Structure 1
Amino acid sequence: MFKSYVVPSSETPGHSPIYRHPKYKSGTLDCEYPDIGTLYNLFTTAVKNYSKEEFLGSRRFFSETDSFGDYEWMTAADAAEFVNDFGSGLDNVYSTNAPGVNAATGQQPLGIFSVNRPEWLLSELAAFRSRRYSVGIIDAPSVLRAEADICSASIEVIVCSVDKIPRMLDRISLTPSIKVVISMDKLDCSRPTRWIQPFDKGTTEKLKIRAKSLGIVLLDIDEVIQIGRLNPTEPMPPRPFDICTLCFSSGTTGAQKGILSTHEAFVHSSKSAILAMPLHDSTYMSYISLFHIFDRYTIYALMFNHLRIGFYSGDNANLLDDIQLLQPTIMSIVPFVLNRIYDKVAAATVGSKGLVGFLSRKGFKAKIGRIRSGKGFKHALWDRLIFDKVAALFGGRVQIMVSGSAYLDPKVQDFFRVGLSCNLVQGYGQTEIMAGGTIQTADDISTANIGIPNPGVDICLRSIPEIGYNVTDVPCPRGELMIRAKNMFLGYYMDPEKTAEAMDGEWLATGDVAQINADGSFSIIDRIKSVIKIARLMWVEPTMLEAAYSRHRLVSSVFIYGNEHEREIVAVVVPNPDTFVPWARSTSRRPDANLAELCADKRVAISVADELRAYAILSEIPIIGIIGGVYLEPKELAQVDSEFVTSTLKVRRAVVSKHYMPVFEQLYKELDCNDDPTI
C-alpha cells in the first residue's frame, strides 16, 4: 500500500510531485477545530472542557532530606487562575516604552530562563494573555549564549529560576535591556524547591539589594501575582497572526538564528499532530527543553484533548525515577537518549551471556515476528519473563513513543518496540515549521523512515545535481526536502536576507536530503552542508556513518572527517569505557592502564581501526565509508569543548574539524594517501 497521497500532475522540472497525508488530500485543515486560532485560545478551551482535571504536575522537594516526593497536581482551573493573575501582574510591571516592542505588531517579548517546570509553561501562557510573546533562554553551549539571546531580543522582563539570578546580575552590562527579573522561586525561601535549596533569606536579601543598586527590579512570581490581584487588568488575547514565540536555533551550521512564529502557525502544527495521531486522556513527561519547539509542539497538540503534564525534577540523574513515578502514556524522546538507554538495557538482555541472554534473544525474535505480522505489541509469555522489566523503566504505561531531531537506528527502534510493548515512531520537523513535518502513523511498524506528511503539510523533493541527488533517481527519487504549510515560520528575527535564502517561493528549503521510498514514506539520507567530498569525486554521508559505527560495542560516539584530497575517511572515536577498557587492556597487555592511557596507545588505536573495518564489512557499509585511521578521544566531544555541540547535542562539524585538524593531518601522513598516483 502506498502510504502518501500524490497530488496529480504536480511535478515540475527538477521537482518531484507534491505529497500529502492520504486523509487530507486537499492539503487544508480549515474544517478541523475552526474555533481555535491561537495557543491562548487553545488553553482557555482546554480549561473550559477539563477545568477540574489534573493538568500540571511536579514533584515536591524536601529540603530536610534533599529528596523528592510524589507528584502534586494543579488543575486546569488552577492554572487558568494563575495565568490570569500573573498576566495581570505582568501588565503592571512592564513599561509602556519597552525596548523590545515589535514595531509592526506592538508586541513585547517575555524572557523565560529555566529548565522545564510548570512555571515555564504558565509564564508563556501569561505572556499570551496580553499579546506578548515568549523568548526561551538557554545556558548551553556557549557561556555567553544566554546573554547574547537576551540582548538580541531586547528583553525587558525575564522570568527565571532563582539559580539564574546571580549570573544575570553579574553580567547585567551585557543585557542592558533588562529592567525586571522575576524569580520562579519565592525569595523569602518559604517554599522549598531544588533551585532555592542553596539559598537562604540572607543571600536572597543581598540579591535584592544588589539588583536595586544596578537599577533592576527583582520580584518573585508570587509578588507579581499579588500585584495582578490588587491591580487587575483586562486580558488582551492575541490574534492568529500575532507573534507567539521567538526561538533561537541551536546553531548546527553556524551562529544561531532567531525564528519567529505566529499563533496561527503554531496552532496549525499542533492541530496537524493530533490529527495525525489522535490521543486522548494522555499523561506526558516534559523533560526535553521547553526552550526548543519539540516539547511545546507536543504539549500544545495534546492540549486539544485532556492532558496531564508531569515535569521532570530538573536533574537528568533523576529522570528515570521521575518517569517511573509519573508513568506517562506518551513520551517524546531524542535518539541520543534512546541510544544511551539501549546500550545498557540491551547489554543486560539480548546482549548478555548465559540463560538470560538466550531467553532474551529468543523472546525478542518471537515478539518482533509477532509485531511485523500485525498481531500486536504484547506477548503473554515473553513480556512476563523478560520485557515487562524493560517497560517498567519507563513506568510501564507508555502507549506511544515519538522520536525526533536525529537519525534513529532501526535496531534501536525495534528493540524498544519489543521492550516497551508499544510503537516507537519517528517524525521529522524543524523550528521553521514548528516541528510539524512528517510522522509515522501509530500502526506503522517499518523502520529507517520518518513517515508521511502530517495533515495539512505539503512535501516535495528538489534535485541537487551538484552532489548527485535527483528526483529522477531510480529506484527511489532523491533530493532536498521541501515543505509548504500554514505552520511556516514568520521569518528570521531581524534577518530578511537569511529568511529569503531559506525560502523558494512558498516552500521552505530544509537543507536535508530525503528519498521517497517504494511505500510512499520518506527517509532522511543526508544533510546538504554535512556531505563530505573525498578524492575521485566520491561523496560520503558522515552522519549516517557515525550512527552506524556508534553501534559497535567498543564505541560511544564517532566523528567522521574527509576531504577531496584524500581517498579515505578518518575518525575521532570516543570509546565506551565499560566495554573498551577491559578489551583494550587485554589487547595492549597493560592490565593496569586507565582509559586515557589506553586511548594514547597507538597499538590500541590501530586495533580499534581494524575492529571498525571488520564491523563495516559485516554491516554492509559501503567501501567509501570504511574508516582508514582512528584517533581515540577519552572524553565525549561536549566535554572536550562545549562549543563542539549545540544545545540539542548536534555536532558542529566545522568547529570540531578545525580543532582536530592536526590529528587528521597526522593520520593521513600515516596512511600515506597523498602518494597514491591514482588520485
Structure 2
Amino acid sequence: MENSEGTKTFNAPIPEGLDINDYLSSFEKSYGAYGVVVAAIVAMIIPVLLSFLFMAKKKGKKRGVPVEVGSEAGYAVRNARITELVQVPWEGATTMAALFEQCCKKYSRDRFIGTRKLIKKDFVTASDGRKFEKLHLGDYEWQTYGQVYRRVCNFASGLVNFGHNVDTRAAIFSETRAEWQITFQGCLRQNITVVTIYASLGEDALIHSLNETQVSTLICDSKQLKKLAAISSSLKTITNIIYFEEDETANVSDLSGSMSDWKVSSFLEVEKLGERAPVPPSLPSKDGVAVIMYTSGSTGLPKGVMITHGNIVATAAAVMTVIPRLGRNDVYLAYLPLAHVFELAAESVMLCAGCAIGYGSPLTLTDTSNKIMKGTKGDASVLKPTLMTAVPTILDRVREGVLKKVEEKGGLAKKFFDIAYKRRLAAIEGSWFGAWGLERWLWDVIVFERIRVVLGGHIRFMLCGGAPLSGNSQRFINVCMGAPIGQGYGLTETCAGAAFSEWDDTSVGRVGPPLPCCYLKLVSWEEGGYTTSDKPMPRGEVVVGGFSVTTGYFNNPGKTNEVYKVDERGIRWFYTGDIGRIHPDGCIEIIDRKKDIVKLQHGEYISLGKVEAALMSSNFVDNIMVYADPFHNYCVALIVPSHQVLEKWAQEAGIKYKDFPELCSKAETISEVQRSLSKVAKDAKLDKFETPAKIKLLPDPWTPESGLVTAALKIKREQLKAKFKDELQKLYE
C-alpha cells in the first residue's frame, strides 16, 4: 500500500470509535425521542459486536511466520506482513544524510525541533543543607524542517572551516538537546563518523572511549568543560573542543590553562563560520560507519559498536510500519539519552514521518519533576505530545506517583478509580461488557482524563524499550493513559531493531514479532536446557539477522567474531545471549539470559535476571540484585527499597526510627520485605531455591553517577558485587 506521499506502508486499518452524540442527534431529527432510545441501545450494542469481531480477529492473527533462512540450525521467523526484508523507507534514502535532506525538503514548512526557553534559574536549600536547582521554563520555541536543514548545512561547513580533519572522528558528549541532533546530522553530511558518549559516563570510560577511537574534535555541553579540563593530559588525540552554550555564558577563560593545547569555540560561532563560508557536502555510503556508539557497559570498560548508515535507516523504515497513523500531525517528546540507541532510533523514525520533536529532560518531564520550579509546568504539560518513548523505570514511577495520589485522596475518589480501572482493564482484556463505547467515554470523563494530564493528555501511542516492562505497568498505561504500548526488543548491536509488539496486541510480557527489517531465530542451548524442539513452544538463544545488525565492535575483532556471524547467503547474524521462546502467533518472549544463569550446589540452575524481573513487582522494591553463590543451595538479594512505600508501612505499623538507614536495618522491616518477596515469588511460580533466603536493604539509590547502574538504568552486576562484597559475604554466613 502507498500513502499520499508515495511511501510504502504496511499499516493495518484502525477501527474508529463511533461518535455517540452525532449518532443520537441524527436519530432524534428523524425519529423523535423514541428513536433516541433505540439509537442509544444500538450505539451500545454495535461496539460490543465490533469488539467481538475485533477480538476474534486478533486472537487468530499471525504476526510472525516460520521461514527458512539457512545458517546455523534453529527455528526462525519473519514478520507476517512481509516477504522480503525492509531496507529503506523509500527509494533513494539509503543513508542518514540522504534521508535527512529528503525529509527536510519534504516537510520544509512543518515544525521540526522545539526547545523551551529558560526564564529563570534558582536554587532551593533542603533541610539537610543540600542545594537543588529549580528551573522556570517557558513555552516551546520551534524551528521548521527547512530552518534546521540550513543550520545543519552551516554547522557541517563550520566544522570543516574550524579545522576538523574529515578523515578523523568527532565525538558528542552531551545530554539530549536540539543541538545534539543538529551536530549529529552536520557530521554525517561531511561523512564524519560520530562517537557517542553518555553524559554520565565516568572518567576512565570517557578517556578510554576518546582515545580508542582517536577522536580529534569533541562537541559537548559547556558544563562538561571542567571534567574535560581535569583529564586533558590523558586525552591523546583531541585538538578541537566545541561547546553548546547555556543561557549563562560558559566561563571558558577560567579553564584556558588546562585547555591551552586545544582550539576551543562555541557551537554558535562554528555555525556562523559555516554560514559565511559554505563547504560542499561529502556524502556517505550506506555501508559507511555513521556512529561508534559506546554502550554504558554492565561489565568492565564500554565497547564501541559500529553502526552503519544502512543500519539506522533500516530500523527507522521498519518501525514506521508498526506505529499506526504516524505522520506530521504527531508531536514527540524527546528526553531519553540520544547517546543510547533507543532514543537515536526513535528520533530517526520521527524524522522519517515528519513529526515535531520537542526536547525535554527526565528532571523536567512533569509538573512535579525535581528541577521544575513551583508554579511552572513540566515538559509534557506544555508540549502535549502524542508520542513518547520510555524505559520501564520511568513508567513504573509514573504508575507509583498516580497510585500514591489516589491513596492520598481515598474515600469516594479511590472507589471510583478502583471501579473504573477494573472496568477498563476488562475491556482491554476482551470482556464484552467492559467494552461498551459509552461506558468507556464515561470513565474517561470521570476518572482518567485527569490522570492523562500528567503526560499532557494527548498520548496516543508509547514506545517502551531498554528492559522488560512489567505486566502491571503495561496495563496501567493502557488503562490510565488510554494508549497502547509498543514494547521493543533490540540491542545496540542490532541498532535497536529486532522485535516490536504491534498496536493491536493487548498481551503482556511479549515483545512482538520481528521487525520487518530482520529475522529472528532461536538456536538451541543444550547446556541450559533450552531447545527449539521444546513443547509447547520452541526455546533457545535469540539470534537476530538482517539489515539492522551492525558491523561489530570497534578495534575488537576477537569479541566481534565471537558474537557476529555471516552466513552462506551473506546475512549478518548477532547472537544476543538472551533466551527466548516463540508463541504460536509468531511473537517472541524473552525468558532468560545466558550470562545470568548460575548452577547451585545441588545442581539447580537459577536465572538471576528472571528472578529479579519477578521480584521487582513487589511494591517495596525500587531496585534489586539477586546473587547466587555456586557453593550454596540458595540465593540472596541486595534491595534498594521504595522510600515512600517503606515509610508508609512503618507509619501504619507504628515502627519508630531516627532516619531511613535505621529503618532499613530493623529486623521487622527486613521481615516485612521478605514476606512481600515470598508472596510475589509464589505468584510468579518461582521455585523455593529461586526465592532469596536472606536480603540486605540498602537505603541509598543506585544511579548512573554512582556507577552501579547503566545510563539505561540496568544494574551493573560486577560493580555491585564488588562494592557490596562484604554484605554479600555476611548474607551467606
Shift in CA distance, 327/165, structure 1 to aligned 2, threshold 3 Å: same
Give secondary structure in 2 for the equivalent of 1:630. strand
Matched, 1:251 2:320: no
* Partner of residue 635, structure 1: 700
Shift in CA distance, 611/235, structure 1 to aligned 2, threshold 3 Å: closer
Question: In the aligned structure 2, how far is the partner of 1:497 from the partner of 1:620?
Answer: 40
Matching of residues 86-97 of structure 1 within 5 Å: 86-96=155-165
Matched, 1:67 2:128: no
Shift in CA distance, 130/13, structure 1 to aligned 2, threshold 3 Å: closer
Q: 2:360 aligns with which of 312, 315, 329?
A: 312
Shift in CA distance, 595/90, structure 1 to aligned 2, threshold 3 Å: same
Matching of residues 547-562 of structure 1 within 5 Å: 547-562=613-628
Question: In the aligned structure 1, how far is the partner of 2:594 from the partner of 2:67?
Answer: 28
Q: 1:460 aligns with which of 521, 524, 546?
A: 521
Greater alpha carbon shift after TM alignment, 556-565 vs 390-399: 556-565
Which amino acid in structure 2 is aligned with residue 22 of structure 1? A
Give secondary structure in 2 for the equivalent of 1:656. helix
Question: In the aligned structure 2, how far is the partner of 1:31 from the partner of 1:376?
Answer: 41
Contact 1:537–1:564 at 8 Å: present in 2 too? no
Q: 1:52 aligns with which of 85, 109, 116?
A: 109
Contact 1:14–1:471 at 8 Å: present in 2 too? no
Question: In the aligned structure 2, how far is the partner of 1:326 from the partner of 1:232?
Answer: 34
Matching of residues 263-412 of structure 1 within 5 Å: 263-278=309-324, 279-281=326-328, 282-313=330-361, 315-316=363-364, 317-318=370-371, 321-349=378-406, 353-373=410-430, 375=435, 379-412=440-473
Which amino acid in structure 2 is aligned with residue 242 of structure 1? G
* Partner of residue 189, structure 2: 129
> How far is the alpha carbon of 1:466 from its aligned partner?
0.7
> How far is the alpha carbon of 1:10 from its aligned partner?
5.4
Which amino acid in structure 2 is aligned with residue 287 of structure 1? Y
Shift in CA distance, 204/247, structure 1 to aligned 2, threshold 3 Å: same
Greater alpha carbon shift after TM alignment, 601-610 vs 406-415: 601-610
Contact 1:480–1:511 at 8 Å: present in 2 too? yes
Question: In the aligned structure 2, how far is the partner of 1:313 from the partner of 1:551?
Answer: 26
Give secondary structure in 2 for the equivalent of 1:535. coil
Shift in CA distance, 95/574, structure 1 to aligned 2, threshold 3 Å: closer
Question: In the aligned structure 1, how far is the partner of 2:436 from the partner of 2:225?
Answer: 51
Which amino acid in structure 2 is aligned with residue 46 of structure 1? C
Give secondary structure in 2 for the equivalent of 1:223. helix
Shift in CA distance, 353/546, structure 1 to aligned 2, threshold 3 Å: farther
Contact 1:57–1:74 at 8 Å: present in 2 too? yes
Matched, 1:660 2:720: no
Question: In the aligned structure 1, how far is the partner of 2:681 from the partner of 2:318?
Answer: 40
* Partner of residue 612, structure 2: 546
> How far is the alpha carbon of 1:276 from its aligned partner?
2.5
Contact 1:58–1:313 at 8 Å: present in 2 too? no
> How far is the alpha carbon of 1:31 from its aligned partner?
7.7
Matched, 1:644 2:704: no
Question: In the aligned structure 2, how far is the partner of 1:206 from the partner of 1:652?
Answer: 36
Shift in CA distance, 388/441, structure 1 to aligned 2, threshold 3 Å: same
Matched, 1:83 2:141: no
Greater alpha carbon shift after TM alignment, 620-629 vs 262-271: 620-629
Contact 1:463–1:470 at 8 Å: present in 2 too? yes
Shift in CA distance, 95/160, structure 1 to aligned 2, threshold 3 Å: closer
Matched, 1:431 2:492: yes
Scaled by the length of structure 1, what TM-score is found? 0.89
Q: 1:600 aligns with which of 665, 679, 702?
A: 665
Q: Deviations over 1:13-47 (max 9, x none)?
A: 8511x201111123x22585121111111111111
Contact 1:56–1:118 at 8 Å: present in 2 too? yes
Contact 2:499–2:512 at 8 Å: present in 1 too? yes
* Partner of residue 284, structure 2: 238
Matched, 1:496 2:496: no
* Partner of residue 188, structure 1: none
Question: In the aligned structure 1, how far is the partner of 2:443 from the partner of 2:652?
Answer: 36
Which amino acid in structure 2 is aligned with residue 338 of structure 1? L
> How far is the alpha carbon of 1:620 from its aligned partner?
3.5
Matching of residues 513-528 of structure 1 within 5 Å: 513-528=579-594
> How far is the alpha carbon of 1:251 from its aligned partner?
0.9
Contact 1:289–1:295 at 8 Å: present in 2 too? yes
Contact 2:89–2:314 at 8 Å: present in 1 too? no
Q: Deviations over 1:221-249 (max 9, x none)?
A: 22212222332211111121211111011
Question: In the aligned structure 1, how far is the partner of 2:453 from the partner of 2:524?
Answer: 46
Question: In the aligned structure 1, how far is the partner of 2:220 from the partner of 2:436?
Answer: 45
Sequence identity percentage: 25
Which amino acid in structure 2 is aligned with residue 649 of structure 1? L
Contact 1:249–1:431 at 8 Å: present in 2 too? yes
Shift in CA distance, 380/115, structure 1 to aligned 2, threshold 3 Å: same
Shift in CA distance, 511/222, structure 1 to aligned 2, threshold 3 Å: same
Q: Deviations over 1:493-514 (max 9, x none)?
A: 1111111011233321011111
Contact 1:141–1:642 at 8 Å: present in 2 too? no
Question: In the aligned structure 1, how far is the partner of 2:71 from the partner of 2:309?
Answer: 32
Contact 1:429–1:436 at 8 Å: present in 2 too? yes
Contact 1:2–1:520 at 8 Å: present in 2 too? no
Contact 2:544–2:575 at 8 Å: present in 1 too? yes
Question: In the aligned structure 2, how far is the partner of 1:70 from the partner of 1:321?
Answer: 10
Show structure 1 runs of 5+ residues with no match. 102-106, 186-194, 670-679
Which amino acid in structure 1 is aligned with residue 610 of structure 2? M
Question: In the aligned structure 1, how far is the partner of 2:105 from the partner of 2:648?
Answer: 60
Matched positions, count = 642
- Aligned Cα root-mean-square deviation (Å): 2.4
Matched, 1:476 2:537: yes
Question: In the aligned structure 2, how far is the partner of 1:661 from the partner of 1:221?
Answer: 45
* Partner of residue 22, structure 2: none
> How far is the alpha carbon of 1:632 from its aligned partner?
1.3
Q: 1:512 aligns with which of 575, 578, 581?
A: 578
* Partner of residue 676, structure 2: 611
Contact 1:5–1:25 at 8 Å: present in 2 too? no
Question: In the aligned structure 1, how far is the partner of 2:362 from the partner of 2:464?
Answer: 21
Question: In the aligned structure 2, how far is the partner of 1:376 from the partner of 1:121?
Answer: 44
Which amino acid in structure 2 is aligned with residue 169 of structure 1? A
Question: In the aligned structure 1, how far is the partner of 2:257 from the partner of 2:723?
Answer: 40
Question: In the aligned structure 2, how far is the partner of 1:578 from the partner of 1:350?
Answer: 12
Give secondary structure in 2 for the equivalent of 1:276. coil
* Partner of residue 564, structure 1: 630
Shift in CA distance, 223/520, structure 1 to aligned 2, threshold 3 Å: same
Show structure 2 runs of 5+ residues with no match. 1-59, 123-134, 365-369, 567-571
* Partner of residue 78, structure 2: 20
Question: In the aligned structure 1, how far is the partner of 2:485 from the partner of 2:407?
Answer: 19
Shift in CA distance, 206/584, structure 1 to aligned 2, threshold 3 Å: closer
Matched, 1:487 2:548: yes
Shift in CA distance, 474/376, structure 1 to aligned 2, threshold 3 Å: farther
Give secondary structure in 2 for the equivalent of 1:58. strand
Matched, 1:226 2:272: yes
Q: Deviations over 1:583-635 (max 9, x none)?
A: 34665x64243211122223432343233223433453333322211111111
Q: Deviations over 1:35-74 (max 9, x none)?
A: 1111111111111111111110000112477521100001
Q: 1:532 aligns with which of 581, 598, 604?
A: 598
Give secondary structure in 1 for the equivalent of 2:344. helix
Greater alpha carbon shift after TM alignment, 138-147 vs 488-497: 138-147
